[in-house]
Chain A
Amino acid sequence: MDKLTCLHDSHVALGAVMSPFAGFDMPIRYPAGIIAEHNAVRTKVGMFDVSHMGEIFVDGPDATRFVNHIFTNDITKAAAGEILYGMMLYPDGGVVDDLLVYKGFTPEHYLLVVNAANIDKDYEWLLGNAEGFDVVLDNQSESWGQIAIQGPESEDVVTRVLGIPAAAGLRFYTYFEMPGMIVSRTGYTGEDGFEIYAPVEKTRALWQTLLDAGVQPCGLGCRDTLRFEAGLPLYGDELSAEISPVMAGLSIFCKLDKEEFIGKEALLEQKAGGTARKLVGIEVLDRAIPRAGYSVETPEAEVVGVVTTGYRSITLDRSLAFALVDSAHAALGTALQVRIRNKVFPAQVIKKRFYQTNYKK
């Protein structure tokens, strides 16, 4: 039986197409459709129920040292109210999860926001690595709802419709707290946007206020097309126990000058010796659509990789993909081909950030 978010009733009432995702029954698209929802976020504003995401709090005298031990980014470089993206790694460099760490306004207080599919695994991983650290771990995932408000008009919506004028003062990847609520300028769409964490009842009230104001509800369908265009990875597709951040081109979020963190040695070796495979962007020079699992080949039909995510880009109207390919074929401009229903289509390695993001720096 799939879990339900606190907004499930509203999705059903709105006529959403629902589907299981990460153990939750989630809205894939509303009657407007994925393209209209995607375009709302790119040109105006849209909102997502992301209550399925996990919230794990870390407190205690050793919280900073502990977070830096399990996290690839360097939390000591962040100020109170700042947010860092990074990963938790296995010792071999494989990824336990990618996550956001919110640095608290009081010392030794952190919020870890993790992928819904990984909440239990992550919590176990954290507990299992907490020996020798004086920390308290608190998985509050079921107590918190979360709404992402994304798009160029998101600041207007959060300040005026939700009556949170202070949100205008937030830079990208910073946050503040209100009684029972967390407001952060973050997102997974490539646009400016906010994510608001609140208890279940408050989340329902916020969602209804946004609906009444005419904000387009957006499903997981366009959440994926949006993050894909912006070059953002999805755990399970572009990051996994087998796909390290070095392979995925995310070394910038791994601070190898830190004294230590789990997986650091493996990443150092991968940086020095190279990896067998790399994640690349690919453009298929046709309207045909490269889908996850399709083979990537050389022009001589030697299989050298596989598509991890692919779409006909809604914003760019190009057939684009992320693919994990042998490193010998990963250079920008390399000619490849993708096998789509037993036909082959010429393709080329291009930069992964297909869409120019619009963050408020």
Chain B
Amino acid sequence: MSKIIEGLLYSESHEWVKIDGNVAIIGVSDFAQSELGDITYVDMPSDGDEIEKGGEFGALESVKTAADLYSPVSGTVVATNRAVEDDPSLINADPYTNWIIKIEMSDKGECNSLLDAAAYAQIVK
């Protein structure tokens, strides 16, 4: 049974979002990291990249496979997490503390279509 944190929003492609004012902090769910197994590489976007909701912004690679990352919201990348870039296994260790990117949202209303913890739990059960 994978861990799901109350108070975060989730996408059907297994990213989580924490809203901090106009900034969306984005990572992947416990389900996603456990499906992937040992993560060995994070393909990060660059600061300033414009990203559409549902658009690919990077990838996580485990030993066996590469999984694209999809943005739950539209906006501009304002930060990437250097710590997980240097040590991707941090995502396996704690996927909810170890965020991947921060996006300055262009339309905060898009968050309304994301899933809450209970709805996401239905998807991964």
Give A residues with C-beta under 8 Å from B. Answer: 17, 28-29, 33-35, 38, 221-222, 225, 287-289, 291, 311-312, 314, 341
Contact = CB atoms under 8 A, between A and B. Distances in A.
B41 A34 contact: no
B125 interface: no
B64 A221 contact: yes
Contacts of A288: 41, 43
A231 to B, nearest CB: 18
B43 A33 contact: no
Contact of A34 (B43, B59, B61, B64): B64
18 contacts: A28-B64, A29-B37, A34-B38, A34-B62, A34-B63, A35-B38, A35-B40, A35-B63, A38-B63, A221-B64, A225-B63, A288-B43, A289-B40, A289-B61, A311-B63, A312-B40, A314-B63, A341-B66
A289 B64 contact: no
B43 to A, nearest CB: 7
B40 A33 contact: no
Given A289-B61, A312-B61, A341-B43, A34 B66 contact: no
Contacts of B38: 33-35
Nearest to B34: A17
Contacts of B40: 35, 289, 312
B43 A221 contact: no
Nearest to A317: B40
Contacts of B62: 34
Contacts of B43: 288, 341
Nearest to B61: A289
Interface of B: 37-38, 40-41, 43, 59, 61-64, 66, 92
Nearest to B59: A341
Nearest to A314: B63
B41 A287 contact: yes
A35 B37 CA distance: 9
A288 B60 CA distance: 10
A311 B64 CA distance: 8
A291 B66 contact: yes
B73 to A, nearest CB: 22
Contacts of A28: 64
Given A289-B40, A289-B66, 11 more contacts: A28-B64, A33-B37, A33-B92, A34-B64, A35-B38, A35-B40, A35-B63, A225-B63, A288-B41, A288-B43, A341-B66
A312 B64 contact: no
A85 B38 CA distance: 33
B66 A312 contact: no
A70 to B, nearest CB: 34
A285 to B, nearest CB: 14
B16 to A, nearest CB: 22
**By CB atoms of chain A within 10 A, which of B43, B59, B62, B64 has the most?**
B64
A259 B113 CA distance: 73
Contacts of A29: 37
A29 B35 CA distance: 11
Contacts of A314: 63
Contacts of A311: 63
Contacts of B59: 341
A221 B37 contact: yes
Contacts of B66: 289, 291, 341
B63 A312 contact: yes
Contacts of A33: 37-38, 92
B63 A221 contact: yes
Contacts of B64: 28, 34, 221
A33 B37 CA distance: 7
A17 B62 CA distance: 14
B68 to A, nearest CB: 8
A212 to B, nearest CB: 26
A181 to B, nearest CB: 33
Contacts of A17: 37
